[in-house]
Amino acid sequence: MQTSNRVRGISVENPLLQINHLSTSFRIGDQYYRAVDDVSLSVNKNEVLGIVGESGSGKSALAYSIMRLHNRAKIEGEILFRGKDIMTLKNSEMNKLRGNDMAMIFQDPLTALNPLMPVGNQIGETLLLHQPNISKHERKERVLELLHLVGIPRPNYVYEQFPHELSGGMRQRIVIAIAIANKPELLIADEPTTALDVTIQAQILDLIRELKEDMHSGVILITHDLGVVAEMADRVAVMYAGEIVEIADVVSLFENPLHPYTRSLLNSVPAEGQDRLHVIQGIVPALQYLPREGCRFRERIPWIDPSAHEEHPELHEVEPGHFVRCTCFKQFYFPDKREEAGIYGNS
């Protein structure tokens, strides 16, 4: 982390966002279960932090916690935004930050817009909430500018349209326009391209990158697409079962991945000359059944000697700015076909 920041000449002492020991728990039945477990990380201005992991690894729960958008979750820990702990803010004070200083791009553009409101008004609402003094006319001008900025043709026409009249890619542009309307310092993009087809994906990512360059915002990019991370992120945090298992700058992570989970993820990406695709066996366990003791990835790499895991896995700094959880990475290897057949009992 320090290396990458030094390279960019940004002081590490004042990150835009500093999360310390954040845990988010949801109630199932009578008990609370941690979907985000003791996560600490930081995001600097003008930096893209990628967060990767499978579904259910707690990425979105983390993002929603930062914006404090959870309805009924227990959140513990510190979220320092510009040095101030926003966990202590009242909801009305939080409302002044949301949509203004920090904003979010949502995963599914098909459901993220109000079906009964023309899209122009939906973008305008963000302006209205944080800049109540500008005139109606000026607000409309700003919305038209925003529509133009996110690459929507014929802004005047689209302004009056309803979400159902627009395509998925167009709607995602509207969602982005809402998020960037007030030039937020922190932009959280929660799988912004998951619901879109590949050609649109590239356009949307380019757009997010351009906007980031313009606004010098810090960006948290949540995705399960490693290609997206490689292309966009400056630093990457890999999450598994609510924990960060590895965090490093993007070059180190892709050139020298350490944690078995990171290596398995990278190995699961189709590559040329590969005869078969690696599959990580098993699934992320449901929230109630997450292992709470020892290495959480243990069960999905059963061929590794159990003694390789730490009893209480911690993040170790293996090189400056490159952290990895648990010691099992030292002994990790991919099983060959014969061995794999022995482990899983299939051919």
Partner 1 sequence: MKFMWKFIVRRIIITFPQLILLSVLLFLMAQAMPGDALTGLIDPNVPEEVKEQRREELGLNDPWHVRYVDWVSGIVKGDLGQSFRFKMPVTEVVTDRVINSFWLSLVTLVFTYLIAVPLGMLSGRYNNTLLDSAITTYTYIGFATPIFIFALVMVWVFGYNLGWFPTSGSVAPGLEPGTMEYYLSKFYHLLLPALSMALIQTVSTVQYLRSEIIDTKQKDFIITARAKGASESRVYNRHIFRNSILPIAAFFGYEITTLITGSIFVERIFAYPGMGQLFIESVLLRDFSVVNAVVLLFGIAMILGALLSDIILSIVDPRIRIK
Contact pattern for partner 1 over residues 166 through 205, marking x by CB under 8 A: ---------x--xx--------------------------
Q: Where are the beta strands (DSSP E) in the chain?
A: 17-28, 31-43, 48-52, 73-81, 84-85, 102-105, 186-190, 218-223, 235-240, 243-249, 315-319, 322-325
Please identify which residue in 11, 31, 88, 91 interacts with partner 1, judged by CB under 8 A.
Answer: 91
Rounded to 5°, the CA angle 250-255-256 comes to 100
Q: Which is nearer to partner 1, 145 or 160 (CB)?
A: 160
Helix (H, G, I), strand (E, B), or coil: what is residue 31? strand
CB of 94 to partner 1, least distance (A): 8
* 74 touches partner 1 (CB under 8 A): no
Where does this chain touch partner 1 (CB under 8 A) — which range of 78-86, 157-165, 198-206, 244-252?
A: 157-165
CB of 345 to partner 1, least distance (A): 42
CB of 160 to partner 1, least distance (A): 8
Specify the long-range contacts of residues 287-293, CB closer than 8 Å, at least 24 apart. Answer: 287/26, 287/28, 287/33, 287/35, 287/56, 288/28, 288/31, 288/33, 290/33, 290/34, 290/241, 290/242, 291/241
What sign does the CA torsion over 97, 103, 108, 111 have? positive
Q: Contact, 264 vs 284, CB < 8 A?
A: no
Where does this chain touch partner 1 (CB under 8 A) — which range of 159-167, 249-257, 269-277, 320-328?
A: 159-167
List binders of partner 1 among 93-152 (CB under 8 A): 95-100, 103-104, 106, 108, 111-117, 122, 125-126, 129-130
Q: Contact, 255 vs 85, CB < 8 A?
A: no
CB of 110 to partner 1, least distance (A): 9
Q: Which is nearer to partner 1, 114 or 274 (CB)?
A: 114
List binders of partner 1 among 311-330 (CB under 8 A): none
The whole-angstrom separation of Cα 75 and Cα 306 is 32
Binding site for partner 1 (CB under 8 A): 64, 67, 69, 71, 91-92, 95-100, 103-104, 106, 108, 111-117, 122, 125-126, 129-130, 162, 164-165, 175, 178-179
